[in-house]
Structure 1
Amino acid sequence: MKYQLLLWVILQLCVTDTYALNLEERHLWSEDITQLQTLITEKHIDPFVNIKEEEFNASVEQLVGRLPGLNEAQVEIEIMRLTRSIGDAHTSYNIMSGAHRHYPLRFKYFGESLKVVDTTKEYRFLLGADLRGINNYSLAQLQQNLSPYVNFVDNAYSFRHSFSFHITVNKFLFGAGVSDDLNMATFKFAQGDQPITVDMGTVSMQQFAELSSDYVISEPEIHYFNFNLVGIRLAYLDNYNTVYIDFDGYPESAQLQQHCESIKDKIRDSGASNLVIDFRNNRGGDFYVGLALSACIQDLDQLDWREGIFVMMDAGTQSAAMSNAAQYQQILNATLVGSPTGADPNIASETNHFRLKNSNRSISISKRYYGFRQTPSDALYPDLPMTTHWEDYKEGRDGALLQLLGFIQDKDRSD
């Protein structure tokens, strides 16, 4: 028994040594952490609103002092704690900018349930299952314990959006102590009343990228016009007297200018008086492109500019997309529809991008401040709350959009 215990201790030490930083690595990471500290202090527009400068500097000093006892994943997690402490989504550390792998799961929140919405062929039986925990931690414990480390967060809504992604990254779980194995974890699910436990390994980033976060949406049926405009698609929903613009990414400004007349021609030809601009799951870009779109369409007198312009949003509506949603409410007299945005309308934003000189890891730092609300608010909230529930989602129905189109029909009937 003593021999077996000794062997176990030796094996554990070997595992620790396998991942522990050597002297040279500690020196290089120390330089990178100091570089990060300098960049945040000098490049952020207002870095110490949410944390005192003395407290931030003390945290940096503590991290550098702890380097001899950390592995690389733990160092990265602690850097994420530093960037998260600044308190805005645009000041973040990208853990995916270094070598990493993923657990082959895509998650999406429906209310308080975190469900599997895509996975590899091997785990298709998990589709629709609720995540209950990972290893020895329940979902509630994971949300609480990992909160200080999850980056790209402005508010509670973007936290859940970002959390559901970060827990698929092997180094994130390993560095945060959720898993003691870099490439293996035990995931616990519930499929209805049936508990399911799966010991799961990791896949490459390329394999993970092939997964989607959406079931195939077939209702409402949408036929888009043939525009070669990245991030913006346009369709006429003739049953609803509505032009629908799916704005899920930002093209170059020159591309939008090039297509402006074609966009206006399609809207004119449709004869529609209602316009829906959908910013759901748009993580942002250049909000001046969004302003250019509003300038492009503003002279279309056929549109019902009093009560026929609608902007859809959700927790994935962040950065420039949130900015444009707030601007459209003002300059297009748009009604906001959906669920709260993952971005704070009154917070430091836009980014400078940097690479840490030794590790080549990517960081972003806020460089501008825009106030889109006169009163403090943690999110842009909808005028018409509308949500796609799980029962709709799994059947391929865009519940929120269907609710809005029904609202538009009722509005037009009453006119």
Structure 2
Amino acid sequence: MKKYVFKYLLLGFTFLQLSFVNAQQNRVLAWQEDIQAYQTGLEVKHIDVYNSVSKQDFESELTRIKESVLEKTDFEIMLDLMRLTRRIGDGHTSVSLRNIETHNYPFEVRFLEGHWRVVKVAKEHKNLLKTSLIKIEGIPINEVVSKVSEVAQFVENEYSEVIRTGEYIPMSELLYALHITKNKNEAKFTFIDENKREISLTLNPISNNTSTKETDFEALTISVPEITKPEDSKFDYLWYTPIKDTKAIYIKFKGYPSFDEMLAFGETLVGYIMANAHSKAVIDLRGNGGGDLYVGVVLAYALNLADTIDWKNGVYIMCDHITFSAATSNTALFKRLLNGKVVGEPTGSNPTGYQDMATFELPNSKLVITYSKRYFKISDTVTQGVQPDVLLHYQWGSFAKGRDNMLHWVIQDLKK
């Protein structure tokens, strides 16, 4: 009897071993297929994939990634592909995790005046709002940033690298795969408040598939008293309103509608400007991550019909490090087409470079690969972002109190 029991146990153990080996072999084959699809897709679809990294170096790194599949987790392999994709050198070519379930710790940070400030946080931890993140699992934030910045995607210059790094810092899978945290399900974070008091606590991440409401979070927002968003605006990201105590119109352009919607918006806008004899215009592209630059040109076309505008000195174009892709192109084009003064921070993407993003999907991991289809030469020289005529940065003292110091400067200037 014992002999039969031992025999069945041995058979069961052998079956489990074979199943494990078979699963591992299938996983290796799946990743090898995906890695090949990644290279083939980029070579066929990208306008000039080897403009920054040589094909030899690219293939050498791909071979290394393929050979290391067995000893790495799926997310570590994704990080290897993300790190390699950064070497292609344009902000529209990336490994997107949109199809992958990830988890974020319940806060957001932005790099303002030399510190990683908490600008949004779950209400249960609202005491962290306005503090600065200084450590994760005891590791100084500068070391964390150094590791995260190497794999952050949608990076085109030093300005977007800072923005994207901040966006990736709260991701639990990424922190764990980079060996910053010891556990995917919790981590110890250390913050410092304005009184130099350290606050350490263990946080748990939230799945990106979990439905959360904006009301579950506390966030810093900035504004000026002279500008109020109309209650009847069709879009949250595109609207206009007069600036109080001036003859100026403020145009919020944080996102792109359809071509037809912009036509209708432009027609209404010009009618309003002419009816109220506005002589100055402020076009605010801060926070605009991009869309269709030709839709933006429709706005420029419409504005050009407004004869009451002072076309010599009356147009201001605002941008910041988040301004990206088509929004960067439109910032540069508006400067030329509308004779505008660019005010704010350098943009997160470059006006001349590889753009017009499209995507394809890897067959097994379902990773989405984005790539550039076109080369746009908006300016004659290649610059790191659109460089403003008037350089301004967000001031933390104002930001923390909800005041928009950049927009305040513009309003004071147009009153002169």
User: Which position in structure 1 is the counterpart of 2:149?
Assistant: 147
Asked if residue 28 in structure 1 is aligned to residue 30 in structure 2, the reply is yes
Kindly provide the amino acid, as one letter, of the partner of residue 146 in structure 1. V
Segments of 5+ residues of structure 1 without an aligned counterpart are 1-17, 411-415
Asked if residue 268 in structure 1 is aligned to residue 274 in structure 2, the reply is yes
- Specify whether residues 254 and 213 from structure 1 end up closer, same or farther in structure 2 by C-alpha distance, changes over 3 A only: farther
Kindly provide the amino acid, as one letter, of the partner of residue 199 in structure 1. T
1:215-234 mapped onto 2 (5 Å cutoff): 215-225=220-230, 226-229=232-235, 231-234=237-240
Asked if residue 135 in structure 1 is aligned to residue 161 in structure 2, the reply is no
Asked if residue 194 in structure 1 is aligned to residue 200 in structure 2, the reply is no
- State the Cα distance separating 1:158 from its structure 2 match: 0.2
- 8 Å Cα contact 1:236-1:270 kept in structure 2: no
* Cα distance per residue 1:37-56 (max 9 Å; x no partner): 11112211111122111001
User: Which position in structure 1 is the counterpart of 2:8?
Assistant: none
* Cα distance per residue 1:94-138 (max 9 Å; x no partner): 124201111101111212111001111221111111111212421
Task: Please identify the structure whose Cα radius of gyration is greater.
Answer: 2
Report SS of the residue matched to 2:322.
Answer: coil
- State the Cα distance separating 1:215 from its structure 2 match: 1.7
- Specify whether residues 218 and 158 from structure 1 end up closer, same or farther in structure 2 by C-alpha distance, changes over 3 A only: closer
Q: Alignment RMSD, CA only?
A: 1.8
- 8 Å Cα contact 1:220-1:398 kept in structure 2: no
- State the Cα distance separating 1:264 from its structure 2 match: 1.2
Distance in 1 (CA, whole Å) between partners of 2:392 and 2:95 is: 33
- 8 Å Cα contact 1:230-1:251 kept in structure 2: no
User: Which position in structure 2 is the counterpart of 1:413?
Assistant: none
1:290-369 mapped onto 2 (5 Å cutoff): 290-369=296-375
User: Which position in structure 2 is the counterpart of 1:289?
Assistant: 295
Kindly provide the amino acid, as one letter, of the partner of residue 217 in structure 1. I
Kindly provide the amino acid, as one letter, of the partner of residue 401 in structure 2. E
User: Which position in structure 1 is the counterpart of 2:15?
Assistant: none
Distance in 2 (CA, whole Å) between partners of 1:296 and 1:407 is: 25
Distance in 2 (CA, whole Å) between partners of 1:307 and 1:148 is: 42
- 8 Å Cα contact 2:108-2:119 kept in structure 1: yes
Q: Which one is further off, 219-228 or 50-59?
A: 219-228
Kindly provide the amino acid, as one letter, of the partner of residue 116 in structure 1. V
- 8 Å Cα contact 2:121-2:218 kept in structure 1: no
User: Which position in structure 1 is the counterpart of 2:17?
Assistant: none
> Which residue of 69, 72, 89 maps to 1:70?
72
Asked if residue 259 in structure 1 is aligned to residue 262 in structure 2, the reply is no
Distance in 2 (CA, whole Å) between partners of 1:154 and 1:330 is: 23
TM-score normalized with structure 2 length: 0.90
- Specify whether residues 251 and 358 from structure 1 end up closer, same or farther in structure 2 by C-alpha distance, changes over 3 A only: same
User: Which position in structure 2 is the counterpart of 1:238?
Assistant: 244
- 8 Å Cα contact 2:279-2:310 kept in structure 1: yes
- Specify whether residues 104 and 229 from structure 1 end up closer, same or farther in structure 2 by C-alpha distance, changes over 3 A only: closer
TM-score normalized with structure 1 length: 0.90
Asked if residue 175 in structure 1 is aligned to residue 177 in structure 2, the reply is yes
Kindly provide the amino acid, as one letter, of the partner of residue 130 in structure 2. G
User: Which position in structure 1 is the counterpart of 2:14?
Assistant: none
Report SS of the residue matched to 2:68.
Answer: helix
- State the Cα distance separating 1:229 from its structure 2 match: 4.2
User: Which position in structure 2 is the counterpart of 1:14?
Assistant: none
User: Which position in structure 1 is the counterpart of 2:119?
Assistant: 117
> Which residue of 368, 376, 379 maps to 2:385?
379
Distance in 2 (CA, whole Å) between partners of 1:26 and 1:41 is: 23
- Specify whether residues 212 and 292 from structure 1 end up closer, same or farther in structure 2 by C-alpha distance, changes over 3 A only: farther
Q: Which one is further off, 260-269 or 239-248?
A: 260-269
Kindly provide the amino acid, as one letter, of the partner of residue 202 in structure 2. D
- State the Cα distance separating 1:222 from its structure 2 match: 2.3
User: Which position in structure 1 is the counterpart of 2:207?
Assistant: 204
* Cα distance per residue 1:46-79 (max 9 Å; x no partner): 1112211100111111001000001111111111
User: Which position in structure 2 is the counterpart of 1:92?
Assistant: 94
Distance in 2 (CA, whole Å) between partners of 1:169 and 1:187 is: 13
Segments of 5+ residues of structure 2 without an aligned counterpart are 1-19
- Specify whether residues 397 and 278 from structure 1 end up closer, same or farther in structure 2 by C-alpha distance, changes over 3 A only: same
Distance in 2 (CA, whole Å) between partners of 1:365 and 1:213 is: 35
- State the Cα distance separating 1:186 from its structure 2 match: 1.6
User: Which position in structure 2 is the counterpart of 1:45?
Assistant: 47
Q: Which one is further off, 215-224 or 370-379?
A: 215-224
- 8 Å Cα contact 2:129-2:218 kept in structure 1: no
- Paired-residue identity, %: 28
